Amino acid sequence: MENSLLLTYLILTPFIGSFLILFFKKGQEHLIRYTALAISTIAFIISVVIYFQFDSANSGFQFIDKFQWIKGLNIHYHVGIDGMSLLLVLLTTFLTPLTLLSSWTSIENKVKEFTFFFLMLEVGMLGVFISLDLFLFYVFWEAMLIPMYFIIGIWGGKERIYAAVKFFIYTMFGSLLMLVAMIWLAVYAIEPLGYFTTNLIELYNVAPQIPRDIQNWMFIAFAFSFAIKVPIFPLHTWLPDAHVQAPTAGSVILAGVLLKMGTYGLLRFNLPLFPEVAVAAAPYISILAIIGIIYGALVAMVQTDVKKLVAYSSVSHLGFVVLGIFAMTQESVQGAIIQMVNHGLSTGALFLLVGIIYERTHTREISDYGGIAKLVPVFAFALMFASLSSVGLPGLNGFIGEFLILVGSFKSPVLGSWWFTAFAASGVIFAAVYLLWMYQRVVYGEVTNPKLNGLKDMNNREMLVLLPIFIFIVWIGIYPNTFLKVSDKSTVKVVKQMYNPEKIKPVQMGLIQSSK
């Protein structure tokens, strides 16, 4: 694949755009909003162009752009995507304009600053998904923390400072470990390569030959950092606070994209860099993932704050993704990738809906609601739709991801037992419990809270935000092949690396699969 500047254009769009926003004056809020929407829409259009030019038959990196950045250390600005990153890039550029649009009435003070941070956030997220240089990746990874910190800390709820600091320190702690591991890895690579490099593609070839005990430590350092981000149980406690305190737009991006950076990192770094360690660690990480699925669902079930409920549901859903990644079969990894997108859509939609109703009532307590189906039928429908997507109803997107993950992990030779999946699959029951119970208490029954009278249904702008998300929820549910085929080859490549047929025997449950 020849080099291309498209990715650079893509990331420059919100970057330049965010500085453009700074030139506006106070009182031009409307202009700022429209400009930001336009900028983020341009970024989305560029990513769609990339999608159409993307060659899904190619498993390698495409749209590569590379030039020297820090000469002495041989560090490059080096970007490129494969099928896995393309889907996440699309998710990011798709959600950003919608989220900006959703914040038009909820963010009313310091609009300029908010918009600036938001576009910067997009730069950081896109950078993470397209970087092919360890150092560049790290820069984006950390840079993205800053705008998010301010978004939570300035526009958040009552305990926003606590949440913002907790979010920042938690994540920072992980990133520092990752930085150490990155430097260590690059230093180790000097011997076989003959020079110092942070080029990920070169390191892919070298890393698996590093002595195993050192690989173990590197794997742990990377995994720890990503596990905090995902979050994998028991490193998840920053998440409910951050989600609940963040403004709606922040929660949407946090759940929709930021969490995926963790799972993406596992897939991009941990698996291909340290395949042996990953295989050995798979059962343990899978157990944590499964605890997360069940624990997250059970804790979500008993929440009294609807936003916190959605937040804990993320812990449960991301557990599925991690399980899919570490089951290391083609089905499960494909499922994990599509589930990352799905979670972004359905949980994003849920957060948007919670935000829409919160704007009107200023309460998130489930018990303050009840019977709103009659007052706001469109909202009730939208909440049902998003919940069903999240529950994993076949025909909608969530099912595709969960099904592929589970069907793949069930037969995973790496996990070696179908008990993992049997436990994980119980998550489908609990998901129905917590979402339908929430739905019942919020929407069904009779109106008992007099404050709810006169509640206004969704307006056109709000519908415009949700409609595209709903279209993709159905699209992925009915014809996921559009997206599955994009990541198919990249997945095959990763999975193949993991299977060293001499070391892992694909025998399961004593089954003999031969025909007579």
User: Site size for other proteins, by CB under 8 A?
Assistant: 68
The rounded distance, in Å, linking the Cα atoms of 429 and 452 is: 31
Contact between 432 and other proteins per CB under 8 A: yes
230 touching other proteins, by CB under 8 A: no
Closest to other proteins by CB, 190 or 429: 429
If binding is defined by CB under 8 A, does position 436 make contact with other proteins? Answer: yes
Cα 249 to Cα 151: distance, rounded to the nearest angstrom:
9
CA–CA gap between residue 186 and residue 198 (Å, rounded): 6
In the region spanning residues 111 to 150, those forming contacts with other proteins, defined by CB under 8 A, are none
Encoded one letter per residue, x for contact with other proteins by CB under 8 A and - for no contact, window 279-318 reads ----------------x--xx-xxx---------------
Q: Check residue 335 for interaction with other proteins (CB under 8 A).
A: yes
484 is a site residue for other proteins (CB under 8 A): yes
**Closest separation in Å from C-beta 468 to other proteins:** 17
CA atoms of 243 and 312, how far apart (whole Å):
9
Tell me how far, at minimum, the Cβ of 252 lies from other proteins, in Å. Answer: 23
Render 420-480 in DSSP notation, one character per residue.
HHHHHHTHHHHHHHHHHHHHHHHHSS----GGGTT-----HHHHHHHHHHHHHHHHHHH-T
Residue selected from 445, 459, 464, 503 as contacting other proteins according to rule CB under 8 A:
445
Least separation in angstroms between residue 415's CB and other proteins is: 12
Cβ-based nearer residue to other proteins, 36 or 404: 404
Closest distance between other proteins and the C-beta of residue 501, in Å?
Answer: 17
d(CA 422, CA 144): 37
User: By CB under 8 A, is residue 82 in contact with other proteins?
Assistant: no
**List 65, 133, 462, 488, residue binding other proteins (CB under 8 A):** 488
Measured CA distances, 362 to 262, 313, 369, 488 (Å): 32, 22, 11, 44
Residue matched to tokens 């000469």: 71
CA distance 335 to 183: 32
Shortest Å distance, C-beta 189 to other proteins: 33
Q: Does residue 421 bind other proteins (CB under 8 A)?
A: yes
Q: Residues in the chain, how many?
A: 516
Distance CA 322, CA 152 (A): 26
- In one-letter notation, the amino acid at residue 182 is M
H or E element at residue 249? helix 248-253
Smallest gap from residue 466 Cβ to other proteins (A): 15
Tokens of 16: 């330049």
Please check whether residue 343 is in contact with residue 87, taking contact to mean a CB–CB distance below 8 angstroms. no
CA distance 428 to 319: 12
Least distance in Å: CB of 416 to other proteins?
12
Q: Please tell me whether residue 98 binds other proteins under the rule CB under 8 A.
A: no
57 makes contact with other proteins (CB under 8 A): no
Q: Between 140 and 295, whose beta carbon lies closer to other proteins?
A: 295
- The CA distance from 241 to 163, in Å, is 5
The two structure tokens encoding residue 390: 């999240």
Measured from the CB atom, is 183 or 393 closer to other proteins? 393
Q: How far is the CB of 334 from other proteins (least distance, A)?
A: 5
Query: Crossing angle of helices 238-245/306-327, nearest 10°?
Result: 130
Question: Is residue 37 a contact residue for other proteins (CB under 8 A)?
Answer: no
Q: Which of 126, 242, 388, 452 binds other proteins (CB under 8 A)?
A: 388
x/- binding map, residues 496-515, to other proteins, per CB under 8 A?
------------xxxxxxxx
Contact between 83 and other proteins by CB under 8 A: the answer reads no
* Secondary structure E strands in 96-172: none
Using CB under 8 A as the binding rule, whether residue 106 contacts other proteins is answered as no
Residue at token pair 């914040």:
103
Is residue 440 a contact residue for other proteins (CB under 8 A)? yes
With contacts defined by CB under 8 A, name the span among 23-31, 210-218, 277-285, 327-335 that binds other proteins: 327-335
Segment interacting with other proteins (CB under 8 A) among 29-37, 119-127, 177-185, 429-437: 429-437
What 3-state class would DSSP assign to 80? strand
Buried b / exposed e across 19-37, counting CB within 10 Å, b at 16+? ebbeebeeeebeebbebbb
CA distance 335 to 342: 10
Shortest gap between Cβ of 508 and other proteins (angstroms)?
A: 7
Q: Supply φ then ψ for residue 396, to 5 degrees.
A: -110, 170
Q: How do beta strands 75-81 and 62-70 pair? A: antiparallel
| Rounded least distance, CB 372 to other proteins, Å | 11
Query: Using the rule CB under 8 A, is 213 a contact of other proteins?
Result: no
Interface with other proteins by CB under 8 A: which range of 8-16, 236-244, 252-260, 344-352? 236-244
* The residue type at 173: F
Q: Does position 3 bind other proteins by CB under 8 A?
A: no
Q: Which residues bind other proteins (CB under 8 A)?
A: 166, 169-170, 234, 236-238, 240, 295, 298-299, 301-303, 329-331, 334-335, 371, 373-374, 377, 388, 393-395, 399-400, 403-404, 406-408, 410-411, 418, 421-422, 425-426, 428-429, 432-433, 436-437, 440, 443-446, 478-481, 484-485, 488, 508-516
